[in-house]
Amino acid sequence: MPPYQRRIDPELSEQYAKDPVEEEFLERLNAALAPFEAAEERDLPEALPTLHVIGAPRSGTTLLYQVVASGLEVGYVNNLVAAFWRAPATGVRLARKLGLQRGGSSFDSSFGRTEGPDEPHEFGYFWNHRLGYPDLAERDPGHEAAIDWEALRRAIVNMADAAGAPVAFKPMLLVWHLEAMVRHMPRTCYVWIRREPRDTALSLLKMRRSLRGSYDRWASLRPRADLDGEPPWRQVAAQVVLIERRIEQAARRLGPERVLAVRYERLCAEPAAVLDEVRALMGAHGHAPARRDWEPRPFREGGNPELEREFGARVDEALAHYSAAFAAGAA
């Protein structure tokens, strides 16, 4: 495994800024626990499927992850487990000891952030560390060969062993490496949530304003493309088009038996039916988790009418431009 590299987070607005004292405490805790985790880790076979919730940022990935964690008997990363990014199996064992890992989400979130120890978490520090990313920007094509895939495989199968169940994740950075993950863990499967590109782009603008304090500051995954100097509505349009295109290309090669595509609108309208499809997908890869005692009801779709009025037409133009440009291989 490459040496540990602390993730570099961008400057956030006051409401979303992290507590530096708490962050430093967690860094020291993880540094102390990493040798313990390594000593406890076993070389186990990949006996169970692993589910990854994927999609462009602001497309509904958090809601889908909350539905999966609440509706299926799977292990998942909650806010407690997320604090143990260098000792994830230890975190899962502690969570189970405390009676967590039981689903029951409130279905509240703020730009992917949730509150409460048992609410799902995207586990960003873990994926940055394991995939060798200092931030959320896409690396050059040669980076994939430098990833320690065997160390990542061992971490995931030990988490599943600690959970006593398949584990579900919501890993943003993995969208750059979907096929490689399958090569190294053949029981991997994906549920890909797709939302109208215009709604996703407008929500990314809202995220920029709220998290970063300005429409002009980048937020979330950053594809490899020369977008500096472009206005924010064109940047978010390119961001959506490029990420969706990358997932679509991988999904086409991996096939529907590996990648389940779900529309955001359908998830909101028919969450129980989506859960059944996710369960069947995992069953095709070795284990169909049981349904939890929770009956989902339809969700109200989110929207951004203020941003729609201000940016809607410009976002539409930018989406059309980049869809054509990137399809033709232009930057």
Among candidate residues 205, 195, 234, 196, the one with its CA nearest the CA of residue 306: 205
Q: How far is CA 213 from the centre of its chain?
A: 23
Model-level pTM? Answer: 0.95
Pairwise CA distance, residues 204 & 56, whole Å: 10
Tell me the per-residue pLDDT of 108-117, one tens digit each, with 9 for 90 and over: 898 888 999 9
Fold for domain 20-197+254-300? Rossmann fold (3.40.50)
pLDDT at 260: 98
Pairwise CA distance, residues 167 & 187, whole Å: 11
pLDDT at 328: 65
- Based on C-alpha coordinates, what's the Rg of the chain? 19
pLDDT above 70 coverage of the chain, percent: 98
> Could you tell me the pLDDT band of residue 330, with boundaries at 50, 70 and 90?
very low
Tell me the per-residue pLDDT of 159-170, one tens digit each, with 9 for 90 and over: 999 999 999 999
Amino acid at 291: R
* Buried b / exposed e along 170-181 (16+ C-beta atoms within 10 A): bbbbbbbbbebb
pLDDT at 274: 97
DSSP codes of every residue in 113-128: B--STTSB---HHHHH
* Buried b / exposed e along 149-169 (16+ C-beta atoms within 10 A): beebbbbbbbbbbbbebbbbb
Domain boundaries, the chain: 20-197+254-300
